[in-house]
Amino acid sequence: MSKAKIGEMTMETGNSILGGQHPPVVRRGAVLADQGELPAGCIIGRDGDGKIIPAAAAGDAVGVLIETLDTTTQTSGNYVPHGSVVEKNLKTTDGADGFMAADLAWLAALEDIGIYPE
């Protein structure tokens, strides 16, 4: 029998995104280039080509980033499409260049797609 190292994943620990009540499913997806930095906890959607972008409205949510991404250098990122996440660390776009805490409408939209803020 032989063993092989397939990959490595680093998790940010001071600002945890993954919840503990319902095991999260983690996926990796392509990110739209040149969006600047997307923070861990950012509620994401997809553009017309299926690439990760910050969700523009609660109904557009498809997941939550679990790592901070620099979209000028990174082309993909890890996100949770299903499972529990830490509510206090969830962020949404403010419509300009920043991010803000997710409000009740965003939290409800996440629950509707099987992501459970705790």
Q: Name the stretches of the chain with pLDDT < 50.
A: 11-13
Rounded CA-CA distance 34/71 in Å is: 5
Q: pTM for the complete prediction?
A: 0.85
Rounded CA-CA distance 50/105 in Å is: 24
Residue 96's pLDDT is: 78
CATH topology of domain 25-117: Virus Head Decoration Protein; Chain: A, (2.40.300)
For the chain, which residues make up each domain, given as ranges? Answer: 25-117
Residue 13's pLDDT is: 44
Residue 2's pLDDT is: 63
